[in-house]
A and B are shown apart, each in its own frame.
Chain A
């Protein structure tokens, strides 16, 4: 096996391991988003769109630094999308011929896409999640592969459970396999598979023609130190040219476009004369490295700006705090610690790692509820699950700080919304049925059961100052269909900096669980307390 393949497989295994470990509880030392931040497009792109320096995303600088000396090794060795593409290419190779002419003409598109992304970022709109290889890969494995595998595991277990119980293997018989469910998963799968299917046209089609992350690294790979070298033993058989997955080798078999070469070492391995080697060499840079005109770049940048401008003038685009209230969906609940909406959308790379990590599956990628620019951005879906107060994973795994990393104490005060009772749907309010599940489940004592005149059973009442917006009430409401108690975005705290605790205290919010019992805001009802009879 080639050294490159070995390292690539190891990195891919590392990628999968990080993803798998990115679920509650994540070990203290682990940084599940580390690989994401290595993607220079993801890191620099979010910084550009958000106009912010994101210190931890500076990790991508390593990749660019490495490119100066080693070329596009990120693409050949580290990128998990590249690994997936290599794998699918090996399957698809039988169905295509590697035709150089067909694809060399398209090479410069990746630079144009990069220019377009820069153009849209100038207006603060980020489309990088359509192109960032790490975002694509993490999203696909998180929203599609992981749930599907769990589903299959659960299906097998469902059949075999009684068998395991019968032979006393309680561990397996009682194992809970809950496959998470995700919005947009079908699209995510289709988009990813479409990228892989490009391998029908040529190997590494995406990487050499379209990937703007590759383009960005290529710009730093004009003259790498470690490069291909051809000795005089070369007979000009052309085997290397035909087999080069990125079409980087020139027609004279000797020259190589460093900006395209991913140092996969394939030419070295297949050369029948052993004329090819990779070594440290100094030399002039590839003159005609980028086959592109300035005009094209400007056009692409302008097109990118145009897409951003159209997005910004869309009806549903959320412009910020001053948003006309009727147009912002009341049920748009962002994860705790999410930056103010515009910043949040600019920084969020839609990798879905937060959704993958969320222990209650409540974080879901959106379609267009938050405007076109909010596509795939995560929102809390309380009907599916509550935001667990003992968990702060979404902020911890976010590679760009779109969701701020908060310690548990601070996260407690990051109010994400406020619950509202829809009395006409509530069986206690409307049908006089004894049901106080929302009161029961509320971790913050924000809901109290009160005996009111004209109501034979106690009815739930919300104290909004205690409501954290966690959504457990909506989640557990036993009413069929839409819940009788719903969380709305009203009252959410979105701070780009500073302490949530201080802000919450300034607003008189009380999320301290301990104090709740002692100084409950409501007066004691007349008659016996809830559940007791006279």
Chain B
């Protein structure tokens, strides 16, 4: 714990240097259904960044990114039930970049608890054996350091609840984890990685880890359209993408080429966050525009968020 406090102090010193910080708080309308109204009222005329790219090691970067968005208390109200959705679907070590770095998950959980969250559940429906995924990814252990935060792999059908998706173009109904539906805030915390079927797997694709039956996405429906349908009901209030290292190819299960980026991307707009992750990363040895990823483009077109990075107020901070 001592080390963690130190990190924060360090961060505070650094962030004090950041002149624009105060101006960044608030002023963003409630973009998504799950986002509670901003805790601090926006002051008129102040420019607020839509998206933050923080550099540094995992914990510092998460801290800096959240702070630059106005602090976790903007998203987490005291007593709130928070669900964090990382990638922990594979029983691989963090170095493979197939799962979210445990430090990223733990730091987010810690910030939520500090902001007064009543409980923080870290949830995923892993592809592989639950115990192994929780253990090998390091996420279970990392969360154990925080009283009130815990990671679970959930596969039992009875833990899911049927949800109708109004206005769906492909996925009209699906079963979603009850705890997610009852949460006050959903935080997407994916690792940035390539995906053999959807180009990349980021926050939007990651939402498939909260449903019971993924099979139908692949088998019966257009995968990208179904992902966007799902995202109309599973909309994270805050997205923090772990790009401390990215899985540039060989995703989502790896092994593949891992590129160290030392970055964390945070935004209340998950489409924007995903778009940024696509554009700052190198995938299969090339660079891509966000619009080249079908599900991101579809989500943009359907108004779930903004993939047009150029039109966003982007802030870069050092964590």
B319 interface residue (CB < 8 Å to A):
no
A445 interface residue (CB < 8 Å to B):
yes
Residue of A360, A390, A472, A524 near B136 (CB, 8 A) is A390
Q: Are A440 and B219 neighbours in the complex by a CB distance under 8 Å?
A: no
User: How far does the Cβ of B299 sit from chain A's closest Cβ, in whole Å?
Assistant: 14
Q: Are A439 and B196 neighbours in the complex by a CB distance under 8 Å?
A: yes
A25 interface residue (CB < 8 Å to B):
yes
B158 interface residue (CB < 8 Å to A):
yes
Interface residues in A425-465 by Cβ distance below 8 A to B read 427, 433-437, 439-443, 445, 449, 458
* Segment of A116-124, A184-192, A511-519 engaged in the interface with chain B: A511-519
User: How far does the Cβ of B272 sit from chain A's closest Cβ, in whole Å?
Assistant: 19
* 4 more CB-based (< 8 A) A-B contacts, given A445-B255, A533-B291: A158-B158, A359-B131, A445-B254, A517-B255
Interface residues in B219-268 by Cβ distance below 8 A to A read 219, 222-223, 249-257
Count of chain A residues with a beta carbon within 8 Å of a chain B beta carbon:
55
Interface residues in A148-190 by Cβ distance below 8 A to B read 154, 157-158, 161-162, 165, 168, 170-171, 173-174, 176-178
A359 to B123, CA, bound (A): 20
User: How far does the Cβ of A516 sit from chain B's closest Cβ, in whole Å?
Assistant: 5
Residues of B with Cβ closer than 8 Å to A? 91-92, 96, 119, 121, 123, 127-132, 135-136, 150, 152-156, 158-159, 178-179, 182, 194-200, 215, 218-219, 222-223, 249-257, 283-284, 286, 288, 291-294, 297
Main secondary structure of the interface of A (DSSP, over half): loop
Closest to A518 in B: B257
| A481 surroundings in chain B (CB, below 8 A) | none
| A479 surroundings in chain B (CB, below 8 A) | 219
Closest to B127 in A: A441
- Given A154-B156, A435-B197, A532-B283, verify A165-B179 contact (CB < 8 Å): yes
Q: Are A434 and B223 neighbours in the complex by a CB distance under 8 Å?
A: yes
Q: Are B156 and A443 neighbours in the complex by a CB distance under 8 Å?
A: no
Residues of A with Cβ closer than 8 Å to B? 24-25, 154, 157-158, 161-162, 165, 168, 170-171, 173-174, 176-178, 359-360, 386, 388-391, 427, 433-437, 439-443, 445, 449, 458, 472, 476, 478-480, 513-514, 516-518, 524, 528-534
Q: Are A162 and B152 neighbours in the complex by a CB distance under 8 Å?
A: no
- Given A513-B254, A529-B284, verify A177-B219 contact (CB < 8 Å): no
Closest to B255 in A: A513
A412 to B179, CA, bound (A): 37
9 A-B residue pairs with Cβ-Cβ distance under 8 Å, sorted by A, are A165-B178, A165-B179, A170-B152, A170-B179, A436-B197, A443-B255, A529-B284, A529-B286, A530-B197
| B92 surroundings in chain A (CB, below 8 A) | 443
Q: Are A162 and B197 neighbours in the complex by a CB distance under 8 Å?
A: no
Q: Are B196 and A436 neighbours in the complex by a CB distance under 8 Å?
A: yes
A534 to B96, CA, bound (A): 28
Q: Are A514 and B132 neighbours in the complex by a CB distance under 8 Å?
A: no
Residue of B132, B154, B156 near A391 (CB, 8 A) is B132
